[in-house]
Each structure stands twice: as C-alpha cells, then as structure tokens.
Amino acid sequence: MSTAIDLKAATRTFLAQTEGHLATYLEGCVHCGACADACHFYAASGDPRHTPAYKLFPIAKAYRNHKFPFGWFGFARPIGERDLREWEELLFDTCTMCGRCTMICPMGIDIASIVGGARRAFVAAGLGPADLLAAADNSRDHGSPLGVTADKLRDRIAWIADDNEVTIPLDEPKADVLLTLSSVETMKYPKSVAAMAKLLNHAGVSWTLSTKGYEATNFGYLAGKGVIAKTMVERIVAAAESVGAKTVVIPECGHAYGVLRWSAAAMLGRPLPFQVLHISEFLAHLKRDGKLRLTPFEEPITYHDPCQVSRRGGATADAREVLRDFARDLREMTPTGDENWCCGGGGGVQAIGRAAPLRYQVFKLKMEQVERTGAKTMVSACSNCRLTMDESKAHWQWQGGIDSLVEIVADHLVEESPKAQ
Amino acid sequence: MDLLDFARGPALTAALSVFVFGVAWRLLSLFLLPWARDPSPRRADARPAWVGAVRGFARHLWPRKPFARASMLTTVNGYVMHLGLAIVFFGLAQHILFLRGLFGIAWPNLPSGLISGVAVVTLGSLALALARRLTHPVLRLISTFNDYFTWLVTFLPIATGLLAVSHLGAPYPTLLAVHLLSVSLLLIWFPFGKLMHAFLVFVTRSETGIAYNRRGVVL
C-alpha cells in the first residue's frame, strides 16, 4: 500500500536548508566511495546502498535541480517519488549520524550534519518510519518517547528513590544544577537514575529534576520534526530558568547531548541561558575538584564511546578521566575514542523496529572489538547505546557484560561524603 | 585558419574564459549564500578557528589508522595521479613557455623523458581509477555522468600530450591541435563538474575543521 507523497513539500524542505555549509558539502563530493569503509552499516551488510555519500543523493538531486545552470537547462532532473521511497530506509534506518564517515572523507565532508535535515524533507513529504515518528509525537504529547508523563515521572522517581534508598530531589524551587533524564533510563535502566542521584548527592551538588522539563532525548530532532525538536528544548530551558540552574546535566545519552549542547541554540535562535554538560563531563569536573571519592574497580573493562559525546562532541577525554586510576584495568578497544565503531542504534535508529536485524549485524563489530580486549565488561555512557547493545547481545546470546559508567562509579563511592570531613 | 590556429587561438581563449568566469561564478555562488552561524558556546579550550581550519585540512591529507587498509589503494593512487598531473603540467618545457605567455613568469623545466615517464604512470593511475570505478560495487552505484566525463576530460590531455611529444600517429601540428582542444574541453568542463573539487577541497575540509574544533574534537 502506498500513501501519497508530497514531492513539493520535500523539495521545499530540502531547499530551505540551502546555505553555505550544505551547498559546499553537496558540491564537494567526488564520489570516491571511501565513506563506505567507515560506515558500520556498510561494514555489516556489504550493501553498496549503505554508502554514506549515496544516502545524500536525494538532497543533492534537489539542490542540483534548483541550481543554475544544471537544472535550468535540463541537465539535472527534479526529485521523484522513487527517490524518496527508495531512500527513506537509507536515510532513517541506515544512518546513526555517527560522523565516522567524515573522518575518512578526503574532502572532509560532514555527512552526518546533512542527514538530520534531509530527514525533515522526508517527513514533510509524508514519509518516515512510523515508530520513530510516534516516538517524536509521544515526546510532544506525553513528555517523552516512552510516554513518561510528569505524573508517571513522579511515581517512577519515588519508586526508584525508595528502591535504591537514595534521595532524588524533584521540583525543588531552586538548584544550581538541573538533571535531565533519558526515558530509556527512567523505564529500562532505573539503576542509572539512582546512580546519578547518589553521585550528585555524594558530591554535595545542589540539584533537582523538574517536571517542567525532564526528557533529555530529542526525538523531534531525530525524526525530522523540527517543531517538536524545538518544543523539547524549550521545556528544558523553562525548567532550568524556573529553578535558576546555571548548569543542565545530560544523562547517559549521546544524542541528547549532541542536540542540547551543539544544536539547541540554533533552534532557539539565541544562546542557552545555562551551560550544558554530559554526565561524563560533569563527573570529570567533580573528580578534578576532589569531590568524587572512589574505591578501585579491579575487573578488566573496556569503554564504548558514544559517537555524539566523543567523535562529534569533543568530550572523549572526560569519561577516561573519570575511569583513570579508578578502573585499574581499562583496556581500550581497537579502534577507540573518536575512531570507535558506533553501536548501530544512535540517531533514532534504535526506535525503528524494522532496523533491528541490521543493528544485530552491526553489533558483531562491537562483539569482536570487545573480545579482542579480553575485558569482561563493556561500559558506556549512553543508555541508548546500552539498550541497542543489550538487545543485540540477547539476539546473539553473547556472554560479554554491558554496563553503564555512572552505575559502576556510583557502586564504588566511598560512603563518607567529603563535605562531612 | 587551420586546425592548430583554431586550437591555440579562439578555442583556447574561449575555453580559458569559460574556465575563469565559470570558476569565479561557481565559487561566488557558494560564498554569497547565507552561511549558518553556530550560536552554541565554543568549548572553552577550543583552539582559534584558523587553527581548526588548518588542522581540518591537514587531517584529511592521509587516512587515519583504522581506515588505512581500506583506503590505501584509493589514497596512494590518488596521490600518484594528482602529483603526476602537477609534474606534467608544471614541469614540461612547452607548458612553462605557455604559462610564461599567460602570466609572465617561468621556472626551470624537467627533462622531457622524465615527464613522459610520469605521464605514462599518470595514465596508468587514471586507468586503475576507472577500472575500480567500473568494478567496485560501491563506486559503480554512486558513479554518475559527471564522474565518467570528468575522468575522460582528465585522461585526454595527458594521452594526447604524450602522443604529441612522441610524434606518434599523426603529424605534429595535428597532434598538438588535438592536445590543445582536449585541454580546452577540460577547461570548459572544469567549472561545471567535479573538477571544482580542486578549489572546494580547501573550503570543505576547513569548514569541517572549524566546526569540529569549536566542539573541542581533537583533529
């Protein structure tokens, strides 16, 4: 069954994004194909359609058709229904916007920066995976992609606090730090929420959660729905302003960090009234200030870099700073850091059900990387990576351990608070 | 007016005009576009933007270690081809004479035997690039008319130039005329196809370097 596709809306949305960066990137591609070798989807499938440069063909076509003299003299055709139908899967299911292709591109083209915008055109045309779009709509209508409303958050937080014997401030009138949550943590990894609370309490931070703005993930951005993306940002801004927070901490979620730290100000058209820190950055700050007192973690572990925190976020060193001296046997993967392989579920791909088989294939790269280190456990600072990898682990019945940075750190806190000394 | 007069007279003049105005138009049309500014705060320890631009350019001169194996053929062959083109274009005595006529400056030439050798290697490199484009599933899929035609207009001047200096296949004036016409074809196509990457590579690498640098990504 096929639904009507609004080609004009797609073309309009493609062209509305025409500015210098996009235009030079689209005109600069020499079709060398190098990007395929950096893409985990191509590496996993061997399907040439998964070549990153190929994924940009529809937006490049719309651009060429519009630009003098190519389109004007009939050298470049306009985009057609076939372009959009065929590329929908490529743009949504097979790109996590991880940016690894940028590193290999001899022209230095930042393909990931184009994909988000290209998705908007598909959505404007009436396309896009239903489950990813529903996650965005849920965020707008119910506060989070998994339907965590403010009331549900209150219940959930009360339960997590009670179950883990930890104080979790919610809707405090004033706080220096506003903590946000990924609903993946709230619903699937509640221990992570408790762990962050323990860490912030331990360090004596003035902090709170807020029912005005608590969802860190931004499925509006990932699903190509710009209005919802902005709404999600505005909620966090309103929450931070209402408690007077100078810092907003993003939990273990790579894309949440990427969107709020690097894209939100552009969405709002003004700078954010607070600094944005990923929890790994915040923990590194606390450690530098001597506010984290930890007992050593002796087991061999390895660290999986969330792409939006490391490769595209510039915070590659922070998680390692937290782990240094604490994780006595940290074994880096090959490749690691900014060059690490993606989990396969970022950029909203985790929310696309039909992409699961491909994600499982991608996880083989990670299993091999981890096994080569000999580490028993892989730790990440992204609950979305963790969920993607946990599902793939179950699929392959893999024996490796997958854990979270905040959880292992919280489990090794020295009970006595430094403030009490 | 015989063929050679036409080739080195009106044909070359017209081609050079298209090249100069075309490249200028193409670059201006990009630089005159609005460029989105990033209002997010730079990472505190980010280096100045120009450092990001330079590092962004330098970083992509050679593949990083994880990509070295997969990219080695493309990278090495790319360097052989580009350096070969540069050596032939700037090193041959006749080219230097031509360029002196245009710009009034000259430099010592390389031995013509060496240039011929380099030209043969460059042609081999181009042949390898084409073979790869025709056989590799990824390259076959993403290749368009632009890729193949650009390959042709790059191949022809070297092939015809080599024939001309070797006096092979036809009288020298005819070979020279054909060579000059093939150069004209390259010049005319330059602004419209992917040969523009010769200029755009400085733009795209630098802008990505600037963007990643402000985020604090170590380039």
**In CATH, what number is assigned to the domain containing residue A255?**
1.20.1050
Q: Which of A288, A322, A343 is the last residue of a domain?
A: A288
Same domain, residue pair A75 and A114: yes
Same domain, residue pair A193 and A334: no
Question: A237 CB near a chain B CB, below 8 Å?
Answer: no
Within-domain flag for A418: no
For testing contact with chain B, the best of A18, A22, A24, A260 (most B CBs within 10 A): A24
**What is the pLDDT at residue A1?**
44
Within-domain flag for A419: no
**What is the pLDDT at residue A416?**
66
Same domain, residue pair A32 and A179: no
Count up the domains in chain A and report the number: 3
Q: Give the domain extent around A167.
A: 131-288
Considering only alpha carbons, which residue of chain B is nearest residue A261?
Answer: B40
**What is the pLDDT at residue A415?**
78
Same domain, residue pair A200 and A347: no
Same domain, residue pair A279 and A308: no
We report the CATH number of the domain holding residue A104 as 1.10.1060.10
pTM of the model: 0.95
Crossing angle between the packed helical segments A279-288 and A190-202, to the nearest 10 degrees: 30
Same domain, residue pair A216 and A338: no
Q: Which of A254, A288, A322 is the last residue of a domain?
A: A288
Residue A197 tokens, joined? 């609370």
For the residues B189-205, what does the mean pLDDT come to? 97
For testing contact with chain B, the best of A18, A27, A90, A341 (most B CBs within 10 A): A27
Same domain, residue pair A246 and A146: yes
Residue stretches of chain A with pLDDT short of 70: 1-3, 69-71, 416-421
**What is the pLDDT at residue A2?**
58
Within-domain flag for A355: yes
ipTM: 0.95
B135-163 residue pLDDT tens: 999 999 999 999 999 999 999 999 999 99
**b/e per residue, B37-65, with b = 16+ CB within 10 A?**
eeebebbeebbebeebbbbbbebbeebee
Within-domain flag for A293: no
Considering only alpha carbons, which residue of chain B is nearest residue A67?
Answer: B29
Give dist(CA A325, CA A297) in Å, integer.
Answer: 9
Handedness of CA A132, A136, A137, A141 (dihedral sign): positive
Asked if B35's CB is within 8 angstroms of A28's CB, the reply is no
Please return the burial class of A369, using the count of CB atoms within 10 Å of its CB with bins 0-12, 13-18 and 19+: buried
Same domain, residue pair A114 and A205: no
Same domain, residue pair A223 and A325: no
Asked if B74's CB is within 8 angstroms of A104's CB, the reply is no
* Cβ under 8 Å to A: B residues 6-65: 26, 29-31, 33-36, 38-41, 43, 46, 56-57, 59-60, 63-65
- Chain A residues in contact with B188 (beta carbon < 8 A): none
Is the CB of residue B46 less than 8 Å from the CB of residue B213? yes
Average pLDDT, chain B: 96
Same domain, residue pair A165 and A89: no
Rounded to 5 degrees, what are φ and ψ at A173?
-65, -35
- Chain A residues in contact with B218 (beta carbon < 8 A): 314, 316, 338
Same domain, residue pair A67 and A138: no
Crossing angle between the packed helical segments B93-103 and B65-91, to the nearest 10 degrees: 80
B23-61 residue pLDDT tens: 999 999 999 999 999 999 999 999 999 999 999 999 999
- Chain A residues in contact with B59 (beta carbon < 8 A): 108
We report the CATH number of the domain holding residue A363 as 3.40.50
Residue B110 tokens, joined? 């390389």
- Chain B residues in contact with A102 (beta carbon < 8 A): 208
Is the CB of residue A33 less than 8 Å from the CB of residue B136? yes
Within-domain flag for A295: no
**b/e per residue, B93-131, with b = 16+ CB within 10 A?**
eeebebeeeeeeeeeebeeeeebbebbebbbebbeebbe
Give dist(CA A326, CA A330) in Å, integer.
Answer: 9
Give dist(CA A250, CA A260) in Å, integer.
Answer: 8
Q: Which of A128, A161, A185 is the last residue of a domain?
A: A128
Same domain, residue pair A97 and A221: no
Q: What is the domain partition of chain B in residue ranges?
A: 3-12+61-194
